[in-house]
Amino acid sequence: MKKRQITQKAVTQQEILQPEQLRLLTIPEVMKILGLGRTKVYDLINSHGLPAVKVDGATRVPLAKLQEWIEQLSSKSIA
């Protein structure tokens, strides 16, 4: 009988989601982080690609996606 060899893919630190990355921010929390008002935050969600999800009718912004979105904006303005 042949033994099957099981190979495991090495998981990098970036592939493992930490609890804080799974956090969903409320609109007031996003307002505070970005230093913007409610209307502007909703404008960024609706027209400028700020990632958001609906949870039982409430709008939430995933923390990890907000960080990625900010990094993308930073790299665009530098280039």
Does some domain include residue 1? no
Does some domain include residue 29? yes
Does some domain include residue 63? yes
Number of domains in the chain: 1
C-alpha distances in angstroms, 26 versus 33, 58, 61? Answer: 11, 8, 7
* pLDDT recorded at residue 49: 92
Does some domain include residue 59? yes
- Domain span at residue 48 reads 21-78
- 25 with 62: CB under 8 angstroms? yes
Please tell me the distance from the alpha carbon of residue 28 to that of residue 25, in angstroms, as a whole number.
8
Does some domain include residue 13? no
pTM: 0.70
* pLDDT recorded at residue 22: 76
Q: What is the CA radius of gyration of the chain?
A: 18
DSSP three-state, residue 6: coil
CATH code: domain of residue 64: 1.10.1660
- Going by pLDDT thresholds of 50, 70 and 90, the confidence category of residue 75 is confident
Does some domain include residue 16? no
pLDDT tens digits, residue range 24-62?
Answer: 999 999 999 999 999 999 999 999 999 999 999 999 999
